[in-house]
Every structure is written in C-alpha cells, then in structure tokens.
Amino acid sequence: MKKIMLSAAVLAFAGMATVNAETVKTPVASAIVMNVQDKTPVKAEDLPDAIKTALAGDDYAGWTVKEAFAVQTGGAVTYEISLQKGDENRVVSLNEAGEAAEAASATEAAPAEQPTQTEQSPADQAPAEETPSVTAPAM
C-alpha cells in the first residue's frame, strides 16, 4: 500500500511540476468596410444634361450608350455608363456635373481598407521583433 501511495504522490508532484504553456494573445483589429451602393437603371434620355453634353463631346465621339445606372454611395450620386463602339465596350463613371468620377472614389476607398490598431496594455503586448531594413545599392 505504501508503494501505491508513494507512486501516486510522485505522479501528482510530477503533474504539478510540468510547465503550463500559455498562448500569447495579441489582439489584431481589422476594419471591414462595406461600400453599400444603390444601383438604379437609368434610360439614356433620362441622364442629366451635363452628362449628355459630356458624352456628346470629343472624348466619347462615336460611342453610344448601351446602358446606364445611377449609383448612390453615401450621399454622392455617380452615373455608371456602359458605352459601345463597334465591338469595343467601355464603362465610364461620371458625376452629376459630367466629370470623370473614378479618381474621387478610388482615393476615398484607399484609406478605409487599411487595418486599424487598437490600444493594448503593456501586459498584452508581445515584444516586437526588429526587422532589418534593406537598402538597394545605388548604381
């Protein structure tokens, strides 16, 4: 009986003496941005006059309107217009003033796609590893 009790005590001590591995929790925050767009079909003759004037200009000479949509993103309305010239197809985005709207929407979406950082207490932060910077040799 003493051997059983002694072996049980040794096993219990060995179980308590093992190292408990703990997972390191580093919170990573990411932002999911959803561009909710309300896309409504529009007839070519119902497009605003500024857009009709822009489509009649030199930039779109020879192109015909295949289909058009009014796209409402947030508070801004742009018009997505599919143009056709022979076998070629082209889609342009114009604002209500008849100006190209692609540059404005690309710059608005770029900062929102980057992940954001959250505040961490010093206990939650893992030590940062330094990464060496590599500089290309000048020629």
User: What is the CATH number for 67?
Assistant: 3.10.450.360
Count how many domains the chain has. Answer: 1
CA gap 125, 31 in Å, rounded:
20
Q: Is residue 56 assigned to a domain?
A: yes
CB 68 within 8 A of CB 94: no
Q: Are strands 37-42 and 64-73 parallel, antiparallel or unpaired?
A: antiparallel
DSSP 8-state assignment for residue 26: -
What is the pTM assigned to this prediction?
0.47
CB 92 within 8 A of CB 100: yes
> Could you give the strand order of the β-sheet that contains 88-95, starting from the edge strand earlier in sequence?
37-42, 64-73, 76-85, 88-95
Q: Is residue 79 assigned to a domain?
A: yes
CA gap 71, 92 in Å, rounded:
12
Q: Is residue 131 assigned to a domain?
A: no
Q: Is residue 71 assigned to a domain?
A: yes
Q: Is residue 2 assigned to a domain?
A: no
In which domain, by residue range, is 102 found? 37-107
pLDDT per residue over 103-136, tens digit each?
Answer: 443 334 444 444 444 455 555 555 555 555 555 5
CA gap 66, 81 in Å, rounded:
8
What pLDDT does residue 83 have?
Answer: 92
pLDDT per residue over 43-89, tens digit each?
Answer: 988 888 998 898 888 888 889 999 999 988 777 888 999 999 989 99
Band of pLDDT at residue 138, cut at 50, 70 and 90: low
The rounded mean pLDDT for the chain is 74
pLDDT per residue over 4-46, tens digit each?
Answer: 888 888 888 777 666 565 677 777 777 777 666 678 898 988 8
Residue holding tokens 């003493």?
2
